[in-house]
Amino acid sequence: MPTDTMTTVMPIEIAQRSERTRLPTKLEPVFEISALSVSYGSTPAIREVTFDIGRNMVTAIIGPSGCGKSTFIRVLNRMNDLVPSARVSGKVLYHGEDLYRPRVDPVQVRRRIGMVFQKPNPFPKSIFDNVAWGLRVLGMKDDLKGRVERALEQAALWDDVKDRLKKSALGLSGGQQQRLCIARALAVEPDVLLMDEPASALDPIATSRIEDLMHELKQNYTIVVVTHNMQQAARVADMTAFFGIEVLPDKSRTGVLVEYDETQKIFTQPSDERTEGYVTGRFG
Amino acid sequence: MRVTLQEELDSLQADMLEEGDLVLRSLRGALNALRESDAELADEVIEFDDEVDRRYLAIEQGVEVLLARQTPVAVDLRLVLAMLHINLHLERMADYCVTIAKLTKLVADHDSEPGMIQAFEEMGSRGEEMIKVALDAFVDRDVERASSLVDLDELIDRANRRVVRHVLDLGPDPALSEWGLRMIVVSRCLERIGDHAVDIGEQVAYLVTGEFREFTDASHERQSSQ
Amino acid sequence: MAADDEAQGLFVVDGRLRRRRIVNRVMEALATLAALVAVALLVIVVVSVVKNGWDALSVSFFTETPTFSALGESGGGIANSIVGSLILVTLATLFALPVGVLTAIYVSELAPRSVANVIRLALDVTNGLPTIVVGIFVFSAIVISRGQSALAGSFALAIIALPLIARSTQEVLRLVPPSLREAGLALGAPRWRTILGVVLPTSMGGILTGTTLAIARIAGETAPLLFTTSLAAMTVMWDPRDPVQSMPLTIFQYIEQPDPSYHAKAWATGAVLLAFVLVLSLCSKFFLARSRRRLSG
């Protein structure tokens, strides 16, 4: 009778399941940040931040208030330029190019690096015009309707609004407005999507939708999200950067990068005790 | 909604069912080795336990990460905790298979008593059946099926209680006696495998009802002569 | 006894409460009275204008130009004044609207703090200039060398309208939340595109409101027209290089005439002006309401 041998080939299903790792084994950097420091006038905001942000993954920035998370993310698309007193030093390489080289046009930067804000801010125009405005301004007018539809689909909003594209965007619910803002940002085909606390003004169900959306979008975009909600970072992010607050000799406070690692490491076994103190909610 | 959480749960469950599959193969291998006094097969069973241990650790880690990242609640939390326990029961069952294999190796060259061998085959088959029932009940979240495991366990328990009598009846031959004593341990392993299957059933009941409850308590209801 | 104890609880009605109630009622009465007085004033003005000018109002009043009989009676209508006023107001708006809006954009979106403050101050001072001073300024600048014209008159009116439009536009621009500008810029739109495409359309309702109110104001200004377009022919003039007659000036000139037939016409002209202002005010309310509806979805 045939002996049942134990050494068998692994069934194919098992092999496929192992491939379904969400984290790419190698981090392809989109941003390479070194010694980045930002101050507003004489007030320091963040100091000597150095790390890489990887392609097609969700990177979360967490930390207590005042740690410079928003300042940091706004460095990535030159939105800090809007604050006259902002001073940026250090290097921010985007696909190898320094974003803060003197000849760089911030407008061009923002075309490739889009942003979604904390409070949904759709234009007081129709739903269609909200998405189409950017396309018209940037000269992407061919197949306008198609582009608008695709953007709304990517933002998981098309089914909700396809019958009322001409209605005012302000008639949508908060969660829908935020998805509209995402569609608006995606329409102009950026490479990176920055999200500054995108769900903090939304109810839990709308938040969950946005999180599922991030999971979808990271296949085609690189996503950086600032969040004050640790659990959200735990749920959505592949890599997490924890910014802490450092007190300088002159008593001023500045944000610094304390730890940057795979999210599952940060939330199961952080290397730095400051990180552990923060994620366990025991301080900060 | 919460696509990632669902994917993670499905993935863990699939991994665990795979582990169950491996345990079944391990048990079948151990039983065959025992019946045939096949030391080589017994070695393979012992080697194979590494596979089960790998799965066990992966699932442990998977549970840890899922709890940390997804903070599941309600039925999701119960599912994760149930899987944590079931994982442990599966791993223990595989360890018992290893013990049986080791004992088989130890007395491979001894004579055996066909009657007892037959009994072990029956106990083992019942054990296999119980593992399958337990895992099916888990997949289907079927509490009734899970509770049926208690009755299935009866046969194994009764057979186990009769083993000592059988060994005493084996006669004065020292080789045979040694074989008999080893076989008492084998019987105990098979009985424990049955118990772990019942434990898995209890986890299924917990998952569905939210209550921690033993189907039977060793100190109540049934007479146990251990 | 128990009931009395009950009344002595936490929230007892005592003399203090009664006094407060009386004071409340007195204040309410005074406020209502003041509001009634304000409305009454308007009503009195409107009623007296209409009453005094009623006899002179007729279709011919609007369609005919003035005629003069040998006896010094007035005949005909004020068609030329109506057309003249329309020309003056239109030209003034054509100049003041774009300049005012662009100035407001510069001050609120583009200028550095200190420069913005200076410009705002200049606008406020211009706003406070006596209209007659504006009139004599335009007189000396343009009329002396080139004679009177509707252009000169509308230029003077534009100077008066400009700070009004600039101020109200500024206020509306300030109400546009910075997040909207950020949203536009974050898409990679240049600044001016964001202003023209997002900020301006959002404030359009308020801008129209402010403009409408400015028009209502300058429609009735008399002093600037005294030296710039007062010697006009009594026919309907369309060429802006010629001086035109205007409704406020007609009122001014007619009321000084000895013949009472002129007086009735003056009051009637006043009624037409009032109607014009009333319609414009209602329009401005309409624009405001519509823009509020658009901004809140």
Taking an 8 Å cut-off on Cβ atoms, the answer to whether A138 and C189 are in contact is yes
Asked if residue B219 belongs to a domain, the reply is no
Q: What is the pLDDT of residues C74-99, one digit of tens each?
A: 677 788 888 899 999 999 999 999 99
Q: What is the pLDDT of residue C72?
A: 63
pTM: 0.82
- Among A69-78, A185-194, B102-111, B163-172, whose mean pLDDT is lowest? B163-172
Other CB atoms within 10 Å distance of the CB of residue B141: 15
Q: Look up residue C160 and give its DSSP letter.
A: H
The residue-averaged pLDDT of B139-165 equals 92
More confident site: B103 or A17: B103
Domain ranges of chain C: 15-56, 61-295
Taking an 8 Å cut-off on Cβ atoms, the answer to whether C186 and A172 are in contact is no
- Which contiguous run of DSSP H or E holds residue A186? helix A174-187
Question: Mutation test of the interface with chain B: which of A1, A4, A20, A22, choosing the one with the most B Cβ atoms within 10 A?
Answer: A4
Taking an 8 Å cut-off on Cβ atoms, the answer to whether C182 and A79 are in contact is yes
Res A8 pLDDT > 80: no
Question: Mutation test of the interface with chain A: which of C176, C180, C185, C187, choosing the one with the most A Cβ atoms within 10 A?
Answer: C187
Chain A residues within 8 A of C297 when measuring between CB atoms: 124, 168-172
For domain A25-279, the CATH superfamily is P-loop containing nucleotide triphosphate hydrolases (3.40.50.300)
Spatial distance between the Cα atoms of C24 and C29, rounded to a whole number of angstroms: 9
Res A284 pLDDT > 80: no
- Give the CATH number of the domain where residue B32 resides: 1.20.58.220
For domain C61-295, the CATH superfamily is MetI-like (1.10.3720.10)
Among the partner residues B25, B64, B70, nearest to A235 by beta-carbon distance: B70
Other CB atoms within 10 Å distance of the CB of residue C248: 22
Taking an 8 Å cut-off on Cβ atoms, the answer to whether A3 and B65 are in contact is no
Among the partner residues A115, A137, A169, nearest to C186 by beta-carbon distance: A115
Res C138 pLDDT > 60: yes
Chains B and C: 3 or more CB pairs within 8 Å of each other: no
- Among A9-23, B181-195, C60-74, whose mean pLDDT is lowest? A9-23
Chain C residues within 8 A of A134 when measuring between CB atoms: 187-189
Res A18 pLDDT > 60: no
Among the partner residues A20, A215, A264, nearest to B65 by beta-carbon distance: A264
pLDDT band at residue B97 under the 50/70/90 scheme: very high
Chain C residues within 8 A of A138 when measuring between CB atoms: 187-189
C-alpha triplet A186, A190, A194: angle, nearest 5°: 80
- Among A77-81, B20-24, B107-111, C187-191, whose mean pLDDT is lowest? B107-111
Which residues are paired to A222 by β-bridges?
A192
Among the partner residues A108, A138, A168, nearest to C294 by beta-carbon distance: A168
Q: Contact C228/C140 with Cβ under 8 angstroms?
A: no
Q: What is the pLDDT of residue B173?
A: 86
Contact partners for chain B, using 3 or more CB pairs closer than 8 A, are A
Question: Mutation test of the interface with chain B: which of A1, A6, A14, choosing the one with the most B Cβ atoms within 10 A?
Answer: A6
Task: Name the residue in chain B with its Cα closest to that of A206.
Answer: B1
Joined together, the tokens standing for residue C20 give 């407060």
Domain ranges of chain A: 25-279
Q: Looking at CA atoms only, how far is residue A176 from chain B in angstroms?
A: 15
Question: Mutation test of the interface with chain A: which of B26, B40, B65, B100, choosing the one with the most A Cβ atoms within 10 A?
Answer: B65
Q: What is the pLDDT of residue C294?
A: 73
Task: Name the residue in chain C with its Cα closest to that of A183.
Answer: C187
The number of helix segments (H) and strand segments (E) in chain B equals: 6, 0
Which residues are paired to A255 by β-bridges?
A46, A245
Residue (of A70, A88, A82) closest to C181 by Cα position? A82
Contact partners for chain A, using 3 or more CB pairs closer than 8 A, are B, C
Q: Contact A74/A80 with Cβ under 8 angstroms?
A: yes
- Among A174-178, B165-169, C205-209, whose mean pLDDT is lowest? B165-169
**A-C C-beta contacts closer than 8 Å:** 76
**Domain of B134, in residue numbers:** 3-209
Chain A residues within 8 A of B38 when measuring between CB atoms: 3
Among the partner residues C185, C296, C297, nearest to A110 by beta-carbon distance: C185
- If one counts the domains in chain B, the total is 1
Angle between helices B143-168 and B114-140 (to 10 degrees): 170
Which residues 6+ apart lie within 8 Å of A96 measured at CB?
Answer: A32
Using DSSP's 3-state secondary structure scheme, residue B223 falls into coil
Taking an 8 Å cut-off on Cβ atoms, the answer to whether A215 and B11 are in contact is no
Among the partner residues C177, C188, C296, nearest to A110 by beta-carbon distance: C188
Asked if residue B217 belongs to a domain, the reply is no
Residue (of B136, B149, B161) closest to B196 by Cα position? B149
Taking an 8 Å cut-off on Cβ atoms, the answer to whether A123 and C184 are in contact is yes
Task: Name the residue in chain B with its Cα closest to that of A268.
Answer: B68
C-alpha triplet A130, A132, A134: angle, nearest 5°: 85
C84-102 in b/e form (b: 16+ CB < 10 A) is bbebbbebbbebbbeebbe
- Which contiguous run of DSSP H or E holds residue C64? none
Q: Looking at CA atoms only, how far is residue A213 from chain C in angstroms?
A: 20
More confident site: A24 or C294: C294
Joined together, the tokens standing for residue A217 give 């979008």
Q: Looking at CA atoms only, how far is residue A269 from chain B in angstroms?
A: 10
Asked if residue B88 belongs to a domain, the reply is yes
Q: What is the pLDDT of residue C168?
A: 93
- Reduced DSSP (H G I as helix, E B as strand, rest coil) percent helix, strand, coil of chain B, to 5: 85, 0, 15
Which residues are paired to A259 by β-bridges?
A242
Q: Looking at CA atoms only, how far is residue A214 from chain C in angstroms?
A: 19
The residue-averaged pLDDT of B173-198 equals 92
Average pLDDT of chain B is: 91
